[in-house]
Chains A and B, each alone.
Chain A
Amino acid sequence: MFVYEKRLQYPVRITRPNPKLASWIISQYGGPDGELGASLRYLSQRYSMPYPELKGLLTDIGTEELGHLEMVGTIVHQLTKNLTDEQIREGGFAAYFTDHTTGVYPTAASGAPWNAAGIGVKGDVIADLTEDLAAEQKARVTYDNILRLSDDPDVTDAIRFLRAREIVHFQRFGEGLRLAKEKLGEKNIYYMNPSLDQ
């Protein structure tokens, strides 16, 4: 069960419209390494996790990612508020505008709509947690790239916060993997799949 709380995890207060920047940041809403994919990946991987620490970790990080999705949506929304006709035309925003006006649609910056092909749920504790480690690094790099592109300190501030979270999540998934390994308790950790084989 999920309950909505009417606030962001971290404040987003953007005052200057910047549709070009929005058209890049939208990738963390619906792109291959974005927050929508992150939350669905973790919340879906939970079901086949054999150990309570990992059920908890995937639930808690997956839930936090939903909060990040809301933050990214808010950034895009605030960057595209009260645009002039000129601002809509300039900076490569017109293509997005044609399809979605200033609605927030889950798409990659490169134009591909959100796709579950960008996430993995393998039903195996080592495979899934290793995917999660990679996912956090890919999201971290995407935020690095946005930090390179951003010329608005208000945007940079929120993106910087989101980037810092990826590093913490990477650490926790790495620790989760270590805990799993201890539980596997075998010389050969690949001997069986503990989600399936008893």
Chain B
Amino acid sequence: MENKTSVACDVMEGSLPGACASMVFPYVAMQGENPQRYNQKDALAIGTLFPGLHLPFFKETQQRMQCGNTALCELMALDFAINELGLYLDTHREDKEALQLYTNYVTLAKEGRQRYEAAYGPLQQTAVTLSGGYTWLDDPWPWDAKGGEK
């Protein structure tokens, strides 16, 4: 039996639905440019910014802990969006809209970081101030029961 698609493809290619691709090479489709996105809070709760990459396991509980409206949760959500968009841009450096969004989030996260540090103390060791004292050492540490929220 003749396989029609294989006839259409080059001698070094095999068939994919609607396309030909090189053989002896693993194939993962590129995510399209400017992909659909969740807002940063939903993204943090779900574990990805992109609905296209949201593929849960059937044993997961549907109910998720919603990170509240605290300064820490807001910063976590912004930094998560930055992290996720950064990885996306690593493989899509020409996507101008994603880059624009990335820089917007970076600006927001800078403000968020300042808000958090003003209320709860330094996120980085160098954020201590002379007037505030050496608050870097103050509990809680991230692994403590309250995980950085006071």
Q: Which residues of A contact B (CB under 8 A)?
A: 3-13, 15, 53, 56-57, 60-61, 64, 70, 73-74, 77-78, 81, 126, 130, 133, 143-144, 147-148, 153-154, 156-157, 160-165, 167-179, 181, 187, 189-190
Q: Which of B12, B76, B80, B143 has the most CB of A within 10 A?
A: B143
Taking the complex as formed, is B78 at the interface, i.e. its CB lies under 8 A from any CB of chain A? no
Known: A7-B123, A11-B76, A60-B90. A160 touches B60 (CB 8 A): yes
Give Cα A7–Cα B67 distance, bound, in whole angstroms.
14
Task: Name 17 A/B residue pairs within 8 A (Cβ), A-sorted.
Answer: A6-B124, A7-B142, A7-B148, A9-B80, A53-B91, A60-B86, A61-B87, A64-B83, A77-B143, A78-B145, A130-B26, A133-B28, A156-B61, A164-B46, A167-B53, A172-B91, A177-B26
The 6 closest A-B pairs by CB, nearest first: A174-B28, A164-B47, A175-B91, A74-B143, A57-B90, A161-B47
The residues of B that contact A169 with a CB separation of less than 8 Å are: 87
Partner of B61 from the list A7, A78, A157, A163 (CB cut-off 8 Å) is A157
Give Cα A153–Cα B136 distance, bound, in whole angstroms.
32
Q: Judge whether A11 and B57 touch: CB under 8 Å.
A: no
Nearest Cβ distance between residue A44 and chain B, in whole angstroms? Answer: 18
The residues of A that contact B147 with a CB separation of less than 8 Å are: 7-8, 11-13, 74
Give Cα A77–Cα B149 distance, bound, in whole angstroms.
17
The residues of B that contact A7 with a CB separation of less than 8 Å are: 72, 75-76, 123, 142, 147-148
Q: Judge whether A60 and B87 touch: CB under 8 Å.
A: yes
Give Cα A77–Cα B141 distance, bound, in whole angstroms.
12
B interface residue count range (under 10 / 10 to 19 / 20 to 34 / 35 or more)? 35 or more
Given contact pairs A11-B65, A53-B91, a sample of 8 additional A-B residue pairs in the complex whose CB atoms are under 8 Å apart: A6-B142, A133-B26, A154-B65, A160-B47, A174-B29, A176-B90, A176-B91, A177-B28
Within 8 A of A (CB), among B70-96: 72-73, 75-76, 79-80, 83-84, 86-88, 90-93
Known: A53-B90, A53-B93, A172-B87. A163 touches B57 (CB 8 A): yes
Nearest Cβ distance between residue B125 and chain A, in whole angstroms? Answer: 7
